[in-house]
Chains A and B, each alone.
Chain A
Amino acid sequence: MKHHLSPEQISGDFYSRRFEQGPDEDTLILNMGPQHPSTHGVLRIILALDGEYIMRAEPVLGYLHRMHEAMAEHRTYLGYLPNMGRVDYLHAVAWNWAYVGAVERLGGIEVPRRAEYIRVITCELNRISSHLLWWGAYLLDLGAFTPIMYAFDDREIILDLLQSVSGSRLTYSFLRPGGVAFDLPDTFLDEVKAFIPHMRARLPMYKALVTDNTILRHRCEEVGDLPLEMCRRYGATGPVVRGSGMAYDVRRAEPYGVYPELEFEIPTENSQDAMGRYLVRMGELEQCLNILEQAVQAIPEGEHLIKGAPKPRWKAPVGETYFAVEGARGKIGVHLVSDGSSTPYRCKLRAPGFSNLSLFAELAEGTLLADAVSILGSLDLVIPEIDR
């Protein structure tokens, strides 16, 4: 048996060589490599396994780094909008909102009430579609191949709705500083009103097929015990921290838009495990439907974009702002620094997935490999937003 590889090639690359702490007979160094069916993108995790147990784990990032923050310095304020849809394409409207909110804060731009309601409706619809995809992909990781198809069936309706209003199905550049790009088509509100009971009728089926399924419960319960102080140390937000008992939601903690006028609960679970995070997201699906119901009732007539909204060559006043929204994965933040020219001086994107992933290394120690997959899925990572 001849090896055609040189010694360097055999032992791995830069990262795995630094990961190995010397020869060890008991552990197996394994790459859940950038190409892996269940790392939700190009995430690479180097594992030291003892049999099936993970002794050490280390995520290696950067395979999907597209230099979004550098691109911000070379685009006008309006021209940077398409980028935000691509950072996390699953909840693009929230990233749009974070950026547009930062620009509005910087420039002191008002938003008409109708535009605020349109933003809420599209953001919540997008949140539902993001959670549905998370649900389907999580179950795909765990080995159930059908729920993702059922989730995508419902997701099609949402994508069609959002297409009718913004023209895209996934990467929306729909918000503008000062409002939204286009007004709602005539049939949109009726279609949303029809969608809400349809989705409500589907949720019990999801519960019966998956949530109550004993195999799934054994895969998720008591897996990935995440105490609250660990969340605080890593800055985890979103369903991850709400599944550990803390009811922190940016829509209530740092209110923005018309969310103060809408009534909804913050689903929280105390179990600290993957099942808790799962149930938090399923609860959020119902709360999104509640918000949608109120928003389509309360939406006023008016304009969708304020007069005097920034034109493409708009120069922001000198200063810096920070604006945060609640995304499907957690707290999305945009820190915008302006030096008075038509391009931002610095645009820092705070991705919730980055903080959520950092706790994986500590969380996965001592768990089984199958549990690591379950934990990764329950953190709801989207690697494009982690790498930006």
Chain B
Amino acid sequence: MLDVILSPQFMRIVLAAVAVMAFIAANGLVLVYMERKIAGHIQRRPGPFEVGWHGLLQPIVDAGKLIGKQLFTPDGADGLLYWLAPVVSFVWVLPLFIPIPFGPQLTAFEMDLGIVLILAFSGTNLLALCMAGWGSNNKWSLLGAARAVAQSVAYEIPLLLAILAVAFTSGTLDLSNTVKLQGGWPWQWNIALQPLAFLIYFICALAETNRAPFDLPEAESELTAGFHTEYSGMAFGLFFLAEYANMIVVCAVATALFLGGWQGPVFSGVWWFLAKMYALLFLMIWLRWTYPRVRFDQLLNINWKWLLPLSLANLMLTALLTKVF
């Protein structure tokens, strides 16, 4: 038992877990700031400005505010579910970072089935939403949770099929191998081989992370914040962080699978990975502040009538072409 714990692999995982938590926390702060600043400038206003130089300390102060708020359970709420939901939402995001290759040597744990792990664990977010919606004893939260369930379950399928198409062309489910098989230049990335799969993956990623234009579960103007209506303080903070962490995961996976990961034309390394990941995050934020929300049945229509047939067709075409060539 002790030799398992003290083995280099286990140590490496523990170290990686700590590093991942630090990365998520730091990135949470960066993303909060980025979102508010980009939102501000798109709307021709400054965004956060007062706290720190140009508002750089704003996320820290926000975190402090959230921690300082009173934690209370709404009347009639199911205590266990209510408090478990944000914890589950946040904690289960951590394993998602294990197989992601941040740099040539910077994968937490090289595993053959990295993509499968990510897909499996990303479904737990759904459980957290259900628990939050039901445990809040609030009809609005219930509606939000119901929408979230249908949305997440529906959009996992084209996501899976898009990733499978890439797995077909690369021949591996290991994320670090997928990166190594791509080159540094944009025409050597997988996106050149699978542009449709990238598009489908990105749209499904938006829906899985409940980002606009698919943010119905937390539709601010319809459902008064949907499933996290009754949460305040750090519980809300955890949901918030979990959402940003999920965004980072999907963008990181997209970078690894489609955009060449840490490979760059010159000086390959972790900085390329981060640059591409942040470009995708910027795109996600940009989309949020541009489009209105898609109605719920139209959301499902997009999935069942467009994304699913397209991803299936893409997969079959890929299978055919890989067999032939």
Measured in the bound complex, the distance between the Cα atoms of B44 and A149 in whole Å is 8
Q: How many A-B Cβ pairs are below 8 Å? A: 95
A142 within 8 A of B: yes
Contact A153 B291 (CB under 8 A): no
The total of chain A residues at the interface (CB under 8 A) is 36
Q: What residue in chain A is nearest B140 (Cβ atoms)?
A: A30
Q: What residue in chain B is nearest A374 (Cβ atoms)?
A: B295
Contact A142 B143 (CB under 8 A): no
Q: Number of contact residues on B: which range applies? A: 35 or more
A18 within 8 A of B: no
Contact A215 B294 (CB under 8 A): yes
User: Known: A146-B42, A146-B289. Is A218-B298 also a contact (CB below 8 A)?
Assistant: yes
Contact A30 B139 (CB under 8 A): yes
Determine the chain A residues whose CB is within 8 A of the CB of B78 once the complex forms: 1
Determine the chain B residues whose CB is within 8 A of the CB of A146 once the complex forms: 42-43, 289-290
B222 within 8 A of A: yes
Measured in the bound complex, the distance between the Cα atoms of B213 and A326 in whole Å is 36
Contact mask for chain B residues 121-152; partner A; CB cutoff 8 A; 1 contact, 0 none: 00000000000000000011011001100000
Contact A145 B296 (CB under 8 A): no
Interface of B is mostly: loop
Which listed residue (A141, A209, A215) contacts B222, Cβ 8 A? A141
Measured in the bound complex, the distance between the Cα atoms of B43 and A49 in whole Å is 36
Determine the chain A residues whose CB is within 8 A of the CB of B222 once the complex forms: 37-38, 141, 369-370, 373
B220 within 8 A of A: yes
A233 within 8 A of B: no
Contact mask for chain A residues 1-35; partner B; CB cutoff 8 A; 1 contact, 0 none: 10111000000000000000000000010100001
Determine the chain B residues whose CB is within 8 A of the CB of A4 once the complex forms: 75-76
Contact B224 A218 (CB under 8 A): no
Chain A 37-93 residues near chain B, CB threshold 8 A = 37-38, 49, 51-52
A368 within 8 A of B: yes
Contact B224 A37 (CB under 8 A): yes
Which listed residue (A28, A30, A52, A144) contacts B292, Cβ 8 A? A144
B215 within 8 A of A: yes
Chain B 38-77 residues near chain A, CB threshold 8 A = 39, 42-45, 75-77
Contact mask for chain B residues 103-129; partner A; CB cutoff 8 A; 1 contact, 0 none: 000000000000000000000000000
Chain A 183-210 residues near chain B, CB threshold 8 A = 209-210
**8 further interface pairs, Cβ-Cβ under 8 Å (given A37-B220, A218-B294):** A5-B75, A51-B146, A52-B296, A143-B221, A149-B43, A369-B143, A369-B222, A373-B221
- Can you offer 12 A-B residue contacts whose CB atoms are under 8 A? A3-B75, A28-B142, A143-B212, A145-B39, A145-B43, A146-B43, A149-B44, A218-B294, A219-B293, A219-B295, A369-B143, A370-B216
